[in-house]
């Protein structure tokens, strides 16, 4: 599990740890880790041209101490202080003591740099880059240098992943002590490049559970349902899929495709696309409805390609089993009805659907994904999976960590891939996973399947994603 903590929490943890250590120890640990990553990226340190963009806080201090370590190994290191009177004094002395210097012409050194360290702001940054930093950030980006952000890409918000203005786009970010939410959530996530975590000993001082976490292979493997000797198809769980319409029969087929790969023992389809479903999947049980007469299920999925059918959505929500609501099912949704349900509800909107539920613009949801998903979960008293370039899963209890999906590929942005996801997550619900686990595991497998299907950059169809879920499942269970 990868954990992320808010800036304020990191500061408290740092203060506790610092009180037990000689002054400057933490910054030296951070700088040593940072310099090691830079050396790795450079390949050859001796003779390399390194430029440090140095802000007025400790983030600049980290860059200066790391620069000093690289200078001692023979790199030509130039510092560009953004607030010359307020540069970290110890760091600057260390740099000049090691043979580094302050650049006379920042743009000239940036033009020929091999590596640029972005030490403008870290967890103390507020808002986007200030105007004086913007031309320097652009010059760095315009050069051939590898850009390494210190702790966070400057201009991004540590706690939310928002980017309010310009920010520095890094190739890699070296972060200290713990991940910050912004490093894992778009839009800030895309500015961070490859993120590496340097352990500075904060672990024992950080709260558990964290506010945000990302599952990894071994976490997903532990959650995957597995049939036992006593299993039969009913004990493994039956998932009911209420999807598709005369206009959108394909959504039903894709949701069933996802459900068949999600670990339930049987998939019961209810709706107007039974012929299309059975033609593709003879193993599905089909029924023309209504859902309450279709036979027992352990979880329902309602909504993909359903069209305008508020009565059927209401009927499914009246059931006593977990319900996943997606796509057209989200439109008629009333918060009180969902809040009053006795069983779990999992809502799976994309940004547009989330915006409609919240009464804000789609752009607002995309800019503030974490706040949006939390707000929806609180308002509906439900688990919410917000789809998109970083998928988030929030529980109705705000003290439960939000899950961010680290898997995926923009190739998944293809018609129908959300239908596959809803079937897959519904199947996991029927197999007995809790709503947050079902959502997070489904997003992970779906993301991995999307990556596998896209290979080295090949457009994928939603069916191919569904077909790749089995392989992803196997790889998660036995990596390597
Ligand atoms: N506290 C500690 O023990 C450690 C802190 N570390 C580093 O210290 C950083 C935090 O340092 P600080 O609290 O000094 O804060 P920062 O260095 O992140 O930034 C604060 C400074 O930046 C200025 N600033 C804020 N927003 C700005 C903007 N948009 N554009 C330009 N300047 C802006 C502020 O006026 C302030 O002077 C961490 O991110 C990390 O890099 C590491 O050395 C690890 C140990
Ligand atoms: N830029 C992106 N990067 C990664 N995944 C994405 C991106 N855009 C969309 N996705 C994923 O693709 C799927 C699309 O679902 P959805 O928007 O419901 O489409 P549809 O309704 O056509 O099925 C979701 O799983 C979503 O998380
Ligand atoms: K930075």
Binding-site residue numbers for AMP are 387-391, 418
| pLDDT given at position 288 | 86
- Judged against a pLDDT cut of 90, whether residue 458 lies above it is answered with yes
Q: At what angle do helices 351-358 and 369-380 cross, to 10 degrees?
A: 50
Residue 127 near ligand 1, beta carbon < 6 Å: yes
| pLDDT given at position 66 | 98
Ligand nearest to the CA of 169: 3
Query: Model confidence at 23, in pLDDT bands (50, 70, 90)?
Result: very high
Q: Whose CA is nearest to atom 18 of ligand 2?
A: 418
Per-residue model confidence as pLDDT tens digits over 143-157? 999 999 999 999 999
DSSP conformational letter for 348:
E
Ligand nearest to the CA of 16: 1
The distance between the two most distant Cα atoms of the chain, rounded to a whole number of Å, is 80
Residue range 68-95: mean pLDDT, rounded:
97
| pLDDT given at position 274 | 96
Residue 76 to residue 87: CA distance in whole angstroms: 20
Residue 153 near ligand 2, beta carbon < 6 Å: no
Per-residue model confidence as pLDDT tens digits over 225-248? 998 888 888 888 999 999 999 999
Best residue among 57, 61, 86 to mutate for probing ligand 1, ranked by most atoms within 8 Å of CB: 57
Per-residue model confidence as pLDDT tens digits over 172-193? 999 999 999 999 999 999 999 9
Best residue among 350, 392, 444 to mutate for probing ligand 2, ranked by most atoms within 8 Å of CB: 350
3-state secondary structure of 26: helix
Domain ranges of the chain: 2-214, 217-477
DSSP conformational letter for 57:
S
Lowest mean pLDDT of 9-13, 227-231, 382-386, name the range: 227-231
| pLDDT given at position 49 | 98
Q: Whose CA is nearest to atom 40 of ligand 1?
A: 59
Q: What DSSP letter does each residue of 177-219 carry, written as one string?
A: SSB-HHHHSTTHHHHH-EEEEE--S-GGGS-SS-SEEE--HHH
Please give the distance, rounded to the nearest whole angstrom, from the Cα atom of residue 125 to the centre of ligand 1.
6
Contacts of 140 (CB under 8 A, 6+ apart): 51, 53, 110, 113, 116, 118, 147, 168
Binding-site residue numbers for (6S)-NADPHX are 58-62, 122-128, 151, 251, 305, 350, 419
Per-residue model confidence as pLDDT tens digits over 111-136? 999 999 999 999 999 999 999 999 99
| pLDDT given at position 448 | 97
Q: Whose CA is nearest to atom 31 of ligand 1?
A: 130
| pLDDT given at position 31 | 98
Phi-psi region of 193 (alpha: psi -120 to 50; beta: other; left: phi over 0): left
Please give the distance, rounded to the nearest whole angstrom, from the Cα atom of residue 439 to the centre of ligand 2.
14
Atom of ligand 2 nearest to the CA of 410: 3
| pLDDT given at position 231 | 80
- Judged against a pLDDT cut of 80, whether residue 260 lies above it is answered with yes
Neighbours of 108 (CB within 10 A): 12
Of 456, 470, 446, 311, the closest CA to residue 391 belongs to 446
Residue 121 near ligand 1, beta carbon < 6 Å: yes
Lowest mean pLDDT of 76-80, 341-345, 405-409, name the range: 405-409
Residue 245 near ligand 1, beta carbon < 6 Å: no
| pLDDT given at position 230 | 82
| pLDDT given at position 346 | 98
Residue 387 near ligand 2, beta carbon < 6 Å: yes
Per-residue model confidence as pLDDT tens digits over 316-370? 999 999 999 999 999 989 999 999 999 999 999 999 999 999 999 999 999 999 9
Please give the distance, rounded to the nearest whole angstrom, from the Cα atom of residue 411 to the centre of ligand 2.
8
The correct answer on CATH 3.40.1190.20 for the domain covering 217-477 is yes
Reported ipTM: the value is 0.92
| pLDDT given at position 236 | 87
Query: Model confidence at 456, in pLDDT bands (50, 70, 90)?
Result: confident
Residue 477 near ligand 1, beta carbon < 6 Å: no
| pLDDT given at position 375 | 98
Best residue among 253, 325, 355, 412 to mutate for probing ligand 2, ranked by most atoms within 8 Å of CB: 412
The mean predicted confidence, pLDDT, of the chain is: 96
Please give the distance, rounded to the nearest whole angstrom, from the Cα atom of residue 451 to the centre of ligand 2.
13
Residue 163 near ligand 1, beta carbon < 6 Å: no
DSSP conformational letter for 401:
P
Ligand 3 is an ion; its neighbours by CB within 5 Å are 118, 149-150, 154
Please give the distance, rounded to the nearest whole angstrom, from the Cα atom of residue 113 to the centre of ligand 1.
24
> What is the fold, at CATH topology level, of the domain defined by 2-214?
Rossmann fold (3.40.50)
Q: Whose CA is nearest to atom 9 of ligand 1?
A: 59
Ligand nearest to the CA of 388: 2
| pLDDT given at position 280 | 97
Percent of the chain with pLDDT over 70: 100
Please give the distance, rounded to the nearest whole angstrom, from the Cα atom of residue 217 to the centre of ligand 2.
21
Global pTM value: 0.96
Query: Model confidence at 479, in pLDDT bands (50, 70, 90)?
Result: confident
Per-residue model confidence as pLDDT tens digits over 41-66? 999 999 999 999 999 999 999 999 99
- Judged against a pLDDT cut of 80, whether residue 480 lies above it is answered with no
Ligand nearest to the CA of 55: 1
Residue range 371-376: mean pLDDT, rounded:
98
Query: Model confidence at 298, in pLDDT bands (50, 70, 90)?
Result: very high
Residue 403 near ligand 1, beta carbon < 6 Å: no
Query: Model confidence at 196, in pLDDT bands (50, 70, 90)?
Result: very high
């Amino acid at each position: 599990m990868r954990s992320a903590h808010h800036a304020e929490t990191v500061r408290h943890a740092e203060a506790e740890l610092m009180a037990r250590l000689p002054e400057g120890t933490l910054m030296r640990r951070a700088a040593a880790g940072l310099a090691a990553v830079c050396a790795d990226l450079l390949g050859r340190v001796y003779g390399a041209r390194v430029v440090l963009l140095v802000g007025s806080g400790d983030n600049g201090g980290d860059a200066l101490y790391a620069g000093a370590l690289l200078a001692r190994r023979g790199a030509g290191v130039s510092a560009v202080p953004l607030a010359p009177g307020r540069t970290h004094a110890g760091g600057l002395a260390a740099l000049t003591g090691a043979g580094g210097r302050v650049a006379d012409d920042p743009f000239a050194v940036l033009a020929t740099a091999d590596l640029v360290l972005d030490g403008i702001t870290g967890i103390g940054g507020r808002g986007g880059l200030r105007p004086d930093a913007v031309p320097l950030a652009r010059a760095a980006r315009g050069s051939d240098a590898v850009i390494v952000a210190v702790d966070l890409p400057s201009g991004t918000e540590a706690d939310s992943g928002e980017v309010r203005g310009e920010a520095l786009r890094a190739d890699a970010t070296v972060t200290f002590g713990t991940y910050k939410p912004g490093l894992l959530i778009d839009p800030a996530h895309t500015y961070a490049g490859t993120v590496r975590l340097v352990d500075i000993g904060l672990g024992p001082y950080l709260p558990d559970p964290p506010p945000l976490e990302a599952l990894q292979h071994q976490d997903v493997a532990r959650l995957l349902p597995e049939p036992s000797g006593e299993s039969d198809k009913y004990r493994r769980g039956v998932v009911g899929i209420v999807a598709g319409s005369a206009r959108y029969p394909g959504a039903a087929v894709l949701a069933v495709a996802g459900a068949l790969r999600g670990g339930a023992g049987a998939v019961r389809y209810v709706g107007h696309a039974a012929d299309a479903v059975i033609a593709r999947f003879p193993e599905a049980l089909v029924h023309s409805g209504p859902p309450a007469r279709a036979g027992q299920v352990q979880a329902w999925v309602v909504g993909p390609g359903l069209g305008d059918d508020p009565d059927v959505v209401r009927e499914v929500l009246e059931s006593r089993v977990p319900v996943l609501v997606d796509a057209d099912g989200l439109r008629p949704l009333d918060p009180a009805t969902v809040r009053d349900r006795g069983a779990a509800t999992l809502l799976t909107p994309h940004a547009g659907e989330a915006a409609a539920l919240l009464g804000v613009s789609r752009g607002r949801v995309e800019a503030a994904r974490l706040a949006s998903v939390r707000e929806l979960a609180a308002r509906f008293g439900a688990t919410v999976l917000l789809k998109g370039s970083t998928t988030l899963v929030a529980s109705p209890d705000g003290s439960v960590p939000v899950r961010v999906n680290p898997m995926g590929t923009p190739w998944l942005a293809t018609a129908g891939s959300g239908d596959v996801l809803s079937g897959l997550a519904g199947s996991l619900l029927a197999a007995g996973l809790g709503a947050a686990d079902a959502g997070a595991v489904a997003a992970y497998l779906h993301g991995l399947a999307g990556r596998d299907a896209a290979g080295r950059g090949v457009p994928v169809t939603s069916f191919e994603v569904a077909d790749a879920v089995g392989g992803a499942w196997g790889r998660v269970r036995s990596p390597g």
